[in-house]
Amino acid sequence: MYMPDIKFWYGPGSCSLVPHVLLHESGLPFTAIEVSISKLETRTDAFSRINPKQRVPVISLDESIITEVPAIATAISHLVPELGLMGKTPIEQVRVMEWLCWLSGELHGQCFGGLFRPERFIDDPNQFEAVQSKARNRIIDCFKTIDSRLSRPFAVGNGLTAVDPYLLVFYRWGSRNRFDMSAQYPAFTAYIQSIAAYPAIVSAMGEDGSTL
Ligand SMILES: N[C@@H](CCC(=O)N[C@@H](CS)C(=O)NCC(=O)O)C(=O)O
């Protein structure tokens, strides 16, 4: 099968960990390009030409640029269909999509978006704290949902899917933002501790410079 040339733009500590793990799991060669979010490298003209939305992750397959975690995960999965990275059976594929939509739209965009980027929700800086406080409560609701729904060792089916590294991203963000992960979410914590030992996750986290 023809394999495209794969380039991957990632930001350490960010949601780009999801495709990073999937690329390692795929075993395919890829070129990783680091983009520092804190140094505002996502806002440069050069990066804006790659992704006008000014966000990571991005992959290119030959000349085709793909953005958005669920779309990128799908693109990688199509290159190695035998691995079932988006689920192996039709119902698993539905469950993976259900998780990805919710994690991307609700937990990432709405909830962590409100906490990290309150300016996206309201112009008045005096209201930022209120937006962030509401976002924290909504994150807690999401974490409770995750804690009550997780199966082990994998979130869906009997193998790694895009859902697993996505859950890891949010667990890490929770730990780093004063959410009491181990005390409040024991099932989520046990799941993360076991999935963190998975080889593709260890490799991607090492390259990303992330720790649990
Ligand atoms: N909906 C996008 C969200 C991507 C996103 O928000 N990426 C963040 C890192 S987790 C980013 O690049 N932020 C740069 C910025 O806010 O300036 C996706 O699923 O890929």
Query: Domain coordinates of the chain in residue numbers?
Result: 6-83, 90-206
Q: Ligand 1, atom 11: nearest CA belongs to which residue?
A: 55
Ligand 1: atom nearest CA of 43 is 17
As averages over each run of 10 residues, the pLDDT of the chain (212 residues) reads 94 98 98 97 98 98 98 98 98 98 98 98 98 98 97 95 98 98 98 97 95 90
Q: Cα–Cα distances in Å, from 142 out to 2, 60, 68, 105, 145?
A: 40, 32, 21, 12, 5
Q: Which CATH architecture does the domain made up of 90-206 adopt? A: Up-down Bundle (1.20)
Q: Give 53's Cβ-side CA count (13 Å radius).
A: 8
Instruction: State the CATH class of domain 6-83.
Output: alpha beta
- Best residue among 8, 17, 48, 55 to mutate for probing ligand 1's pocket (most ligand atoms within 8 Å of CB) is 55
What is the CB < 6 Å shell around ligand 1? 11, 14-15, 37, 42, 54-57, 68-69, 104
* pLDDT for position 2: 85
* pLDDT for position 200: 98
CA of 11 to the centre of ligand 1 (A): 9
CA of 1 to the centre of ligand 1 (A): 32
Count of C-beta atoms within a 10 Å radius of residue 130: 14
CA of 105 to the centre of ligand 1 (A): 12
* pLDDT for position 120: 97
Q: Do 45 and 68 touch, CB atoms closer than 8 A?
A: no
